Amino acid sequence: MTAQAVASLLVAAALVVAPGPAGPRSRLPQAREAGGQPAQAGAGPRWWLRFRPELSNPPLDLAAAWELLAACLQAGMPVAVGLSAVAEGLDAPAGPALRRTAQLLALGAEPTQAWQPALKCPATARLASFAQRSDRGGSALAESLTRLAAQVRAGAHEQSEARAQRAGVLIAAPLGLCFLPAFLAIGVAPVVIGLAAGLAVHW
């Protein structure tokens, strides 16, 4: 093989593996989302969120939201408008449930029907129950919301104390397992060995 042929092969190989103007191109088929559309950059986290279990709202966030909604109602704001404003600051599942309820109330649905989305959500079920009993009265619902927020805060405080106590137990257990062999080896074993040696001499 001549030197010119070798040079031609090297140039051809370089053209095959060289990156294009936008960087290296993968020879693998492009990932596609459902429906056959190419997956866009950053689609990974959205794909992960679609398969995550139902999220839960922190109790203190819910308590703050109920207090805010109570303040809105006490100021004369319609229930649908107050719910929509509060729902914007809450993540799933409480936010979407309240947003759907606000939409139904704005469309003029009966309270029993309008509060069904919130009643089916564990994070907003108590709020929906209070609201259905209060009918359309904003002042009565505001008082219920204030009490509900206080109850949620008290429950969160009790849960945090219980977790702290469990953490203390879990921390003490490994320490006990570490100190017990040392206690047996240093404190108990020499005494037993000494007693056994004394009994052997007498026998």
Write out the two tokens for 165: 């106590």
Cis-peptide into 190, omega within 30 deg: no
pLDDT at residue 116 greater than cutoff 50: yes
């866009």: which residue's tokens? 40
CB 151 within 8 Å of CB 141: no
pLDDT for residue 31: 36
How far apart, in whole angstroms, are the C-alpha atoms of residue 152 and residue 86?
A: 17
Q: What does the pLDDT look like over 20-78, one tens digit per residue?
A: 444 433 333 333 343 444 444 343 333 333 334 345 789 999 999 999 999 999 999 99
pLDDT at residue 186 greater than cutoff 90: no
């219920």: which residue's tokens? 144
Mean pLDDT of 114-133: 92
DSSP string across 111-130: HHHHTHHHHHSTTTHHHHHH
Is the overall model pTM greater than 0.85, yes or no? no
Domain boundaries defined on the chain = 59-156
- Higher-confidence residue of 139 and 122: namely 122
- Higher-confidence residue of 35 and 108: namely 108
pLDDT at residue 86 greater than cutoff 80: yes
pLDDT at residue 110 greater than cutoff 50: yes
In whole numbers, what is the pLDDT of the chain averaged over residues?
75
| Reported confidence tier of residue 177, pLDDT bands at 50, 70, 90 | confident
CB 124 within 8 Å of CB 118: yes
| Reported confidence tier of residue 135, pLDDT bands at 50, 70, 90 | low
How far apart, in whole angstroms, are the C-alpha atoms of residue 200 and residue 192?
A: 12
Smallest CA-to-CA distance from 71 within 126, 124, 133, 139 is with 139
- Higher-confidence residue of 160 and 50: namely 160
- Higher-confidence residue of 47 and 170: namely 170
Q: Rg (Cα) of the chain, in Å, rounded?
A: 34
pLDDT for residue 55: 52
Q: Which amino acid does the sequence have at 201? A: V
- Higher-confidence residue of 145 and 16: namely 145
